[in-house]
Structure 1
């Protein structure tokens, strides 16, 4: 296998002047992102504002970094390697990621955009049209933090997270089930805080289960926006009218992503990074079901059919503490069952009713 150094040189060649820096404090983890692009740096500073190490002046901190990332704005690269398509999770279709393993790292290429990422023992690099694909750079930064968490025994879950009275609620559901929409409805209560949107991490500590989030903003579809008065200003009136004219089912499944900046929409100090986990809610409801929404307590050991809604593949960017890269989408059911064995688990079934379930989350599950 080839080594990472030659590919790192190709990715950076001609762009060695890294004049811009963003520095993040995520729990005990410090991350630096060095870039040759002022526009990209501005986008990162804006996106990660709630978790910047320091506000305003982002000069180089004197404290050591746990993760160091380089982001190079440049045209797409041709690295002349035979990338292999990454097998997607059940229910996902189309080509998204491809990878090429090195003797000391891994190259990952985004099929649709040509962005290339290097993960190695020495360097973590994103290269390509970064400004046009800033969300992929943000995901890469978060992926390094997610590896850092998992290397410290945190378990990744496909769930949103809210915090009330210093206790967290995890909200899981099958793809398109509405967990982000429910979370944003519930954030209307100013006493409730945002923990995470789509990646929740859990770990047992001192006899209780802790929940941690990542700094990834909710990315929502138009169906969520047009049915939430607080979010409607994100779209102009003409666009909203076109969306409301669509059949309900078409609007429910329409994929057109928008970031929700929590501090701008819901106010300051609404984001937390970690809290004890009180309960898990799994959305099994169906917008076509004529029955009213109901919530019941379940035992995951007896309802293993619900586990796929909670479990999440670490994905191609994950590297374990021994430097090994994730290869197979085989998820450790036993670890998830152990993680939630002392947590109250609820299932929502029947028809979709965000308002009613939001009230129940606040006053019964979290209250």
Structure 2
């Protein structure tokens, strides 16, 4: 009996050496396949929501399915960076061209939409585009790994799938928020700026950015945010540079408020202070702010509200909303500590201003 058991164990061990990796890869492929089917369901759900919302709010006169399919496949080719000189200007130009074309494309399928609604629909299309792109990338590596029987491609994809699915679910939540015009977690900076500029005289500067002046602790405060309530982020870099140039050496400090990705274990809505330009994106707007602040020797401070990626692009939670007043208190403290009465301070509320007016 003992000899038989030993033979079986030896056979199992030898079989595992030869076939263990293949068995493991088959299990990984099954797991990825389930995730891929879920991704396909989510992207179709987002696409259907986009079609439904555009038809309801945009009042198109013809079938918009072909145009939506075209928008789902759009892309941007990054400029050559072999010579990095002027790369930011090139990126900025590309983004401007993309924004204009994309907005025109959305306007073409939603001729009956108002400007704020048009911005919301644009955000909705972008969320659907992101889900479609995630699905295509995952499918590509899944099929490539299966066709080539590459254990390492499959292993890496399987390890990344939980985070990919989390991001996909977040984009689906964002699509629902954009369809309904609800404020999202990323808009906390815009919300704070909106509270500062409430009932003040407002003016538009640069692209889709609203500015208003107020006072805080005997300091002149210039608050700015993207123009709402449509889904919009504006160009705060251009706006801050323009305001600094307008005031010719009178700006003593720039304070930027934005949402920031929290670490696991941290509480949503917690606030942190730091130094530097708190703004996401590809980096062109941050470059403009840093360049102008450095040229004028203006300190830039950041106040961030911690959120998960899911909370940042889905409807704003109460704990994030409640953080707004705490952020204003932090701004007041910074102003008292770092400036003198009579100084001019720029307070920039960064983030998507969907559902948040002026």
If the length of structure 2 is used for normalisation, what is the TM-score? 0.28
Q: Pick the structure with more helix per residue.
A: 2
Q: Tell which has more relative contact order, 1 or 2 (C-alpha 8 A, sep 6+).
A: 2
If the length of structure 1 is used for normalisation, what is the TM-score? 0.27
